[in-house]
Each structure stands twice: as C-alpha cells, then as structure tokens.
C-alpha cells in the first residue's frame, strides 16, 4: 500500500462522513448516557490492569499492550478463518520498530517475558515442521478478550445494536477484529491524535490508569469527569500501579504545568480537573468507543463472509 493510500485510509475515519468525525464525537459526548459509558470503560480497564515494577522498567504500558496485540495480528493476519499461522521474533521486531512501538531490543526482551509468562509459545511451522514459530496462547487471547468485553459493555450503554456486533468468543470474529483494529493502527491511526493533551499520560507508565483513577474519583453525586476537587493519595496510586511515588508526583506536576489540572501546592491531596483535560478525556473515550464499534461491525461482516 502506498503512503498516500495509507494516509487516505486513516484520514477517512475523521472526515465529515467518517465514523470518527467531529460531529459523531460531539453527538456521543452530548448523549445523556455517555457519562455511564465513560464509567464502564474506565472502571473496566482499571480492573484489568496488571502493572509491576519489573515490567515497567522494561517497557511502558502502551508498548506491552501493543506488542501482545501485534503478536495476535501477525498470527491472525495470514488466514481469514481465525486459526492463524504463527510468526517469528524477527517479524514481530520489525513490525514493532516500523510502527514506533518499541525497539527490536525491547521487543525481544518482551517476547522472552511473554514466553516465560505463558502468553506465547513455540510450535512447529505448519508448512515445515522442522521450523519453529511462535503462537499466541489462550492466556494472551483471554487477556485481550477481557478488554474487548469491557469495551463492548461500554458500547452497549449508548448503542445496544452496535454492541451486538461484538461476538466475543467466536474465533472468526476475534481474528477479524484484531486484523481490523491493528490494521488501522498500522495505517497510522493513533488514539492520542484525537486528544493530544493526553499524550502526557499516554507516554508514562501507568499514566492512563492514573488518569482513569482521577476521572472516577468524584463523589457519587458529582459528574464524570469530576467537576469538584477530588482527593488523591500519591502513595496509593503508586502502590496500585507498580510505579514510584516520585513517578506519580512528577506526572501530576507536569499535568499541572500543562494546565490540565490544578493543585494547591505540590503536597496537596486535592486536585481539580481543568476543562482542557475533561474535554480531552471525553473526546478520547468517545472516539475509542466509536472506533471499536465501527471495527466490530467490519469484523462481523468479515467473519460472515468466511463462515
């Protein structure tokens, strides 16, 4: 595919009649059910988070998730029936480097950790049993299946018909969904592009989890994102997400410098989420819900054509 074709394909998502257009995002953000969608998605992602200090030292959250996802993509990319054909470490290193996910060295180290943890395994190549390949295990599939389930539940809040496209557990659908979502990513679609203010959180270990925690920190009668000041514990956030207190404190200080939050002094436990951050969070979550629903609809049609 030419560079122009890639740009045209990824850019279409955001055009006036595209699924991620400004009008589509604005409509979803204005939906009275959207706050519950935000709550469902953010609380689900927090429940699934499995960070630890060793992995955080190796590679950030985004890199770990994408390496696992691209492992599924390489496996499922060759065959449309969901059975896949495996991949080599070299293929994964090249793909991650080309997509800006991780260097070959970090990818190789992450592959070694994934093998030790049982997320990928060696297997004989289907075309030559003397040659070994890597294949995703059910443990890796389950990890992503859990994420898709929370995404589908978040979609269901605002659009039950769109949520019905998520036939999670069906091998053909899951393979097609991986190809569609990863395909758009490799074509240049980056979630943070719709809300560049969130780049500060995306690029830090546990950054998005800390942001999600802030979004959910309001009192029961407050909005999401909270309109009133929220109390946070740097020690609690650091312990929950496997990062240092200095890491959390630095992230909050940088967010304050970027005028995304307000604090009454560095040691204050009270944080105010500024409109710039609240609006960026709404835009990001709305865009991701629309993107996931669109890819699920495409994947369902792909799966039907191959069944």
In the predicted structure, residue 101 carries a pLDDT above the cut 80: yes
User: Does a structural domain hold residue 268?
Assistant: no
Indicate the number of domains in the chain: 1
pTM over 0.85: yes
User: Does a structural domain hold residue 264?
Assistant: no
User: Does a structural domain hold residue 223?
Assistant: no
Render pLDDT for 2-57 as a digit per residue (tens, 0 to 9).
343 444 567 788 888 889 999 999 999 999 999 999 999 999 999 988 766 655 65
Q: Which helix (H) or strand (E) holds 236?
A: helix 234-241
Residue span of the structural domain in which 89 resides: 3-195+280-306
Render pLDDT for 209-263 as a digit per residue (tens, 0 to 9).
999 999 999 999 999 999 999 999 999 999 999 899 999 999 999 999 999 999 8
Give the dihedral sign, CA 97/100/105/110: negative
With beta carbons less than 8 A apart as the criterion, state whether 211 and 226 touch: no
User: Does a structural domain hold residue 300?
Assistant: yes
SS3 content of the chain, % helix, strand, coil (to 5): 65, 10, 30
Q: How much is the pLDDT for 295?
A: 96
With beta carbons less than 8 A apart as the criterion, state whether 10 and 184 touch: yes
Structure tokens of 256?
């304050």
In the predicted structure, residue 264 carries a pLDDT above the cut 80: no
Mean pLDDT throughout 101-126? 90
User: Does a structural domain hold residue 191?
Assistant: yes
């Amino acid at each position: 595919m030419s560079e122009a074709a890639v740009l045209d394909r990824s850019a279409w998502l955001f055009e006036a009649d595209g699924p991620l257009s400004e009008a589509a995002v604005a409509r979803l953000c204005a939906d009275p059910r959207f706050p519950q969608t935000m709550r469902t998605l953010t609380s689900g992602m927090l429940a699934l988070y499995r960070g630890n200090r060793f992995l955080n030292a190796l590679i950030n959250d985004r890199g770990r998730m994408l390496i696992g996802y691209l492992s599924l993509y390489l496996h499922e990319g060759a065959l449309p029936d969901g059975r896949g054909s495996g991949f080599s470490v070299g293929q994964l290193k090249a793909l991650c480097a080309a997509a800006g996910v991780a260097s070959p060295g970090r990818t190789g180290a992450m592959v070694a950790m994934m093998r030790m943890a049982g997320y990928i395994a060696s297997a004989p190549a289907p075309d030559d049993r003397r040659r070994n390949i890597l294949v995703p295990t059910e443990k890796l599939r389950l990890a992503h299946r859990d994420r898709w389930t929370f995404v589908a539940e978040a979609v269901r809040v605002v659009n039950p018909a769109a949520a019905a496209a998520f036939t999670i557990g069906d091998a053909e659908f899951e393979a097609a969904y991986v190809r569609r979502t990863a395909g758009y990513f490799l074509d240049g679609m980056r979630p943070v592009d719709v809300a560049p203010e969130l780049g500060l959180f995306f690029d830090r270990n546990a950054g998005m989890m800390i942001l999600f925690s802030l979004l959910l920190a309001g009192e029961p009668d407050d909005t999401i994102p909270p309109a009133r000041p929220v109390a946070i514990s740097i020690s609690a956030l650091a312990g929950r997400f496997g990062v240092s207190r200095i890491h959390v404190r630095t992230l909050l200080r940088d967010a304050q410098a970027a005028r995304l939050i307000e604090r009454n002094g560095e040691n204050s436990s009270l944080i105010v989420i500024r409109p710039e951050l609240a609006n960026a969070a709404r835009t990001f979550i709305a865009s991701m819900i629309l993107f996931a629903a669109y890819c699920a609809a495409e994947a369902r049609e792909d799966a039907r054509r191959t069944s």
